[in-house]
């Protein structure tokens, strides 16, 4: 069924496990992610990024409606999240498009400007019962340049959450977006310090570059929501490439089907990792 992100994140936090939030670009992504979650027997978050909306011609509702329909038919809890929103006009479409949470990304702004923009976004969201995630300390990599050196300061994070009223906080602890190798080294001591300093659940972005053991340790140290995109596309595209070696193949289902199956296997495996160290 389609449930709220708040419900999924709170339940994961209560159990001491992580929850996977996977990026949806096409209908096949939504189908693969939900199939993988059903195979793992775990709840999952489908997230649509501002960049994915741009890919769909700036229109949120077609892909959001499709993802919501897949979620409603799922045998595990599934929620819908709008990811990395910088455009306030897109933020303002979230509630009507059936999403229960938004990540408002003002991480490129300096501290004071980030606080002001995020507080306004959180106030708007809370009037509509939307769960708002924000980022402090730029994770980096979205524009191509990896910046795994940036870190979120625990004291500043505590002040930021108090000043903005956000429901979840994305932190820079060593990961970086769009990595195709799982070689990121996380600062687990910093994750523990952040989790002690802020009252809201912590979110790890750029998790494709983080290996299984590092993910397990990150969840044990206090990460709850784990955002994963690139590694799904690595699996999907490599399956498409293999299938397309046949020059006579024309039916898209012939390459989309194995690609979707490969993607669901990655989701199942990652969700098993994220939920493996819970307390019940
Ligand atoms: O918000 C989305 C995630 O941070 C995904 O990052 O594509 O590097 O796994 P990734
Ligand atoms: Zn991200």
Q: Which residues line ligand 1 (CB under 6 A)?
A: 23, 83-84, 177-179, 205-209, 227-231
Global pTM reads: 0.97
pLDDT value of residue 118: 98
Residues 147-160: what's their mean pLDDT? 89
Q: Give the mutation target among 208, 225, 233, 236 for probing the ligand 1 site: most ligand atoms within 8 A of CB.
A: 208
- Arithmetic mean of pLDDT over the chain: 95
ipTM of the complex: 0.99
- State the DSSP H helix or E strand holding residue 102, giving kind and residue range, or none if neither: strand 101-104
Pick the CATH number of 5-274 from 3.20.20.70, 3.40.1350.10, 3.40.50.1580, 3.20.20.150: 3.20.20.70
Atom 2 (ligand 1): residue with closest C-alpha? Answer: 227
* Res. 143: pLDDT tops 80: no
Query: What is the CA(105)–ligand 2 centre distance, in A?
Result: 9
Query: What is the CA(227)–ligand 2 centre distance, in A?
Result: 6
Atom 6 (ligand 1): residue with closest C-alpha? Answer: 206
Query: What is the CA(174)–ligand 2 centre distance, in A?
Result: 13
Report which ligand 1 atom has the smallest distance to the Cα of 230.
7
User: Which residues are annotated as part of the binding site for Zn(2+)?
Assistant: 84, 105, 135, 177, 205
How far are the Cα atoms of 87, 92, 98, 273, 276 from residue 133, in angstroms, in the given order? 15, 15, 17, 23, 25
**Left (φ > 0), alpha (ψ -120 to 50) or beta: where does 129 sit?**
left
Query: What is the CA(8)–ligand 2 centre distance, in A?
Result: 18
Known catalytic residues are: 83
Rg of the Cα atoms in the chain: 18
Q: Give the mutation target among 205, 210, 215, 274 for probing the ligand 1 site: most ligand atoms within 8 A of CB.
A: 205
pLDDT value of residue 139: 81
* Res. 279: pLDDT tops 70: no
How far are the Cα atoms of 54, 93, 130 from residue 80, in angstroms, in the given order? 18, 13, 11
List, as one string, the DSSP characters of 33-94: HHHHHHHHT--EEEEEEHHHHHHTTT--HHHHHHHHHHHHT-SS-EEEEEEEE--HHHHTTT
Residues 27-39: what's their mean pLDDT? 99
* Domain boundaries, given as residue ranges, for the chain: 5-274
């Amino acid at each position: 069924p389609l449930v709220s992100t708040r419900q999924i994140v709170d339940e994961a936090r209560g159990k001491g496990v992580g929850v996977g939030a996977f990026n949806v670009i096409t209908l096949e992504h939504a189908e693969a992610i939900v199939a993988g979650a059903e195979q793992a027997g775990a709840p999952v978050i489908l997230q649509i990024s501002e960049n994915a909306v741009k890919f769909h011609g700036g229109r949120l509702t077609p892909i959001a409606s499709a993802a919501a329909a897949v979620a409603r038919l799922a045998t595990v809890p599934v929620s819908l999240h709008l990811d990395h929103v910088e455009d306030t006009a897109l933020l303002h479409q979230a509630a009507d498009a059936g999403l229960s949470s938004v990540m408002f990304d003002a991480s490129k702004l300096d501290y004071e400007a980030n606080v002001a923009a995020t507080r306004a976004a959180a106030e708007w969201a809370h009037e509509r019962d939307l769960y708002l995630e924000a980022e402090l300390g730029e994770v980096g990599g979205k524009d191509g340049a990896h910046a795994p050196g940036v870190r979120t300061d625990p004291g500043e994070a505590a002040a930021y959450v108090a000043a903005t009223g956000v429901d979840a906080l994305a932190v820079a602890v060593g990961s970086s977006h769009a990595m195709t190798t799982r070689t990121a080294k996380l600062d687990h001591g910093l994750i523990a310090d952040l989790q002690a300093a802020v009252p809201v659940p912590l979110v790890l972005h750029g998790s494709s570059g983080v290996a299984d053991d590092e993910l397990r340790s990150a969840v044990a140290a206090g990460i709850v929501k784990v955002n994963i995109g690139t590694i799904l596309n690595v699996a999907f595209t490599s399956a498409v490439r293999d299938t397309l070696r046949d020059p006579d193949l024309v039916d898209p289902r012939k390459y989309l089907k194995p690609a979707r199956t490969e993607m669901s296997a990655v989701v199942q495996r990652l969700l098993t990792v994220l939920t493996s160290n819970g307390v019940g």
